Homo-oligomer: A and B are copies of this chain.
Amino acid sequence: MADETTYKDKKVITIGIVSELTGLSERQIRYYEERKLIFPERTPGGSRKYSFADVELLMEIANKIEDGVQTHEIRKEMIRAQNNLNKEVKRKMIQGQLNAQFGIRNGPFSK
């Protein structure tokens, strides 16, 4: 499940390549960062580094922008989605604790 050999999240792609992969201009990519939609890492020299996950996210962002959604709205959507994910993870961790303490059964709350 937690595949440690995943390259999707390693930030290793420079902005020029990302521009080619997404079809977005470097200006657009930097602007979406300014609007807090994307968070590249940096080399010691200051060059941005993106992951494949970032590339995919950028393409989703581009689609929404095309649909007339403003960056501020997109940001709110992303925060909402992130909160839901956090809640989900927390719920699963608590359930995991319970299972560990009381054993795994198949009651209505064990899923």
Chain A contacts to B: CB under 8 angstroms: 7-8, 10, 12-14, 16-17, 21, 43, 49, 52
Cα A16 to Cα B12 with chains together (Å): 10
Q: CB distance B7 to A52 under 8 Å?
A: yes
Q: CB distance A17 to B52 under 8 Å?
A: no
With A7-B7, A7-B8 in contact, do A43 and B16 touch (Cβ < 8 Å)?
Answer: yes
Q: CB distance A49 to B17 under 8 Å?
A: yes
Interfacial chain B residues near A10, Cβ < 8 Å: 52
Interfacial chain B residues near A14, Cβ < 8 Å: 14, 17
Given contacts A12-B12, A14-B14, A14-B17, 11 further A-B pairs with CB under 8 A are A7-B7, A7-B8, A7-B52, A10-B52, A12-B13, A12-B17, A12-B21, A13-B13, A16-B43, A17-B43, A17-B49
User: What are 14 A-B contacts defined by CB distance under 8 Å?
Assistant: A7-B7, A7-B8, A7-B52, A10-B52, A12-B12, A12-B13, A12-B17, A12-B21, A13-B13, A14-B14, A14-B17, A16-B43, A17-B43, A17-B49
Distance between A41 CB and nearest chain B CB, rounded to angstroms: 10
